[in-house]
Amino acid sequence: MADIIVHEVGPRDGLQVEKQVVPTEKKLAWIRSLAGAGLDIIQLGSFVNPEKVPQTADTEELFRALAAQPRSKTIFSGLALNERGVERGLACGVRMFCLGVSASETHSRKNTGMGSMDAQRRMIAVAKEAMTAGAEVQMSVQSAFGCGFEGPVPESRVLEIVEAYRAAGCRRISLADTAGHAYPGQVRRLFGEIRDLAADVQCACHFHDTYGLGMANIYAAFEAGAASFETSFAGLGGCPFTKVAAGNVATEDLVHAFQRSGLCRDIDLHGIIAVARDVAAHFGREMPGRVHKTGPVSCS
């Protein structure tokens, strides 16, 4: 219970579909506030082609700016899709890479230009390169619960990818609900199968709230043994390479829910709410998250 990890993905996944590019200094202000609130991991950006994802063009600048400040307990992670991305990340001091493979053939080709099996071989090689260089690696299975283009994804394929990660020495593994198709019974079953397959794996989860089941799926994953939860401030986000891009579960909603159960008490919920409200003000529209609008229920 004490080892719950909150992985903030707002600066990357939250912003990547926004047309209005956020200035670097504004991003840094949000990130520093989130780190000050005690979040365990913050994903700063991705090492991808800036022409395809303009919001992440300053990822290296963010890592270098934050490396110059006093080190906090917060780990700053970065997403990479290939060898070049890891090279760029290592050059600016990334300590944790988030890498992944889609279990959906169609989504894999749209996201990386490769089929799922080719991407699996390549990304495992990339992960080994990053680990050899001394970085932590989290491997994800994208579209693990379904695909916006193909519909159901065979659970056998998801478990096959998980086992390939484990055989390569990766122990931090995330299941990502890229299209938001997951439902609680499926989540419990799949995480339970991973737990039975590999007790030494630290399970992470990443749910989109496309159909309103994001928080229910988080609780199902928690009950099934997941320890790390990827969420985004104000509920921003969505994969630009899936059929329906919808937001993540809001970080403030997750922390509020867990704190009501006596968990995550070392995180400053009010600090996260302040960031979510500033994000909403910056974009000038209502955000999907709830607690930054309603205010929290007292946990005392």
Give how many domains the chain has, as a whole number.
1
**Domain assignment of residue 300, yes or no:** no
Q: What is the pLDDT of residue 246?
A: 64
| Burial bucket for residue 136 (CB in 10 Å: 0-12, 13-18, 19+) | middle
| Whole-number pLDDT of residue 240 | 53
Residue 127 binned pLDDT confidence (cut-offs 50, 70, 90):
very high
What does the pLDDT average to over 133-141? 97
pLDDT given at position 111: 77
Give the residue numbers annotated as catalytic, written as ranges: 239
Domain hosting 31: range is 5-294
Report for 17-31, 62-76, 240-254: range of highest mean pLDDT? 17-31
Is residue 139 within 8 Å of 165, Cβ to Cβ? yes
The residue type of 161 is: I
For 42, other C-beta atoms within 10 Å of its C-beta total: 25
Strand partners, 267: none
Tell me what the pLDDT averaged over the chain comes to: 92
Separation of alpha carbons 77 and 40, rounded Å: 10
Q: Which among 278, 285, 255 has a CA at the least distance from the CA of 5?
A: 255
Residue 105 lies in a domain: yes
Parallel, antiparallel, or unpaired for β 75-80 and 96-102?
A: parallel
Q: What is the pLDDT of residue 182?
A: 96
pLDDT digits (tens, 9 = 90+) for 24-35: 999 999 999 999
164 vs 53 pLDDT, higher one? 164
pLDDT at position 1: 41
Q: Give the CA radius of gyration of the chain.
A: 18
Q: According to the model, what pLDDT value does residue 199 have? A: 83
Half-sphere exposure of 281 (CA within 13 A, CB side): 9
Residue 231, domain member (yes or no):
yes
Considering the domain boundaries, does residue 299 fall inside one? Answer: no
Confidence of residue 245 (pLDDT cuts 50, 70, 90): low
- The Cα angle at residue 54 between residues 52 and 57, in degrees rounded to 5: 110
The mean per-residue pLDDT over the stretch 122-133 comes to 96
First to last CA, the chain: 19
The predicted pLDDT at position 72 comes to 74
Residue 199 and residue 138 in contact, taking contact as beta carbons nearer than 8 Å? no
CATH code (residue 225): 3.20.20.70
% of the chain beyond a pLDDT of 90: 79
The more confidently predicted of residues 238 and 210 is: 210
Distances (CA, A) of 191 to 24, 102, 105, 117, 219: 37, 17, 22, 22, 12
Question: What pLDDT is attached to residue 55?
Answer: 92
Confidence at residue 238, expressed as pLDDT on a 0 to 100 scale: 62
For residues 249 and 234, what is the distance between their CA atoms, to the nearest angstrom?
A: 8
Do the bridges between strand 228-231 and strand 96-102 make them parallel or antiparallel, or are there none, so unpaired?
unpaired
Q: Is the pLDDT of residue 214 over 90?
A: yes
Q: How far apart are CA 71 and CA 65, in angstroms?
A: 12
Whether this prediction's pTM lies above 0.85 is answered by yes
Please give the average per-residue pLDDT across 111-126, as a whole number.
90
Instruction: For 147-187, write each residue's pLDDT tens digit.
Output: 888 889 999 999 999 999 999 999 999 999 998 999 999 99
Question: What is the structure's pLDDT at 2?
Answer: 47
pLDDT value for 262: 92
Counting every residue written for the chain, the total comes to 300
Alpha-carbon gap, residue 205 to 188, rounded angstroms: 12
Q: How many CB atoms lie within 10 A of CB 152?
A: 11
What tokens does 221 get? 């994953």
**Is the distance from CB of 161 to CB of 197 less than 8 angstroms?**
no
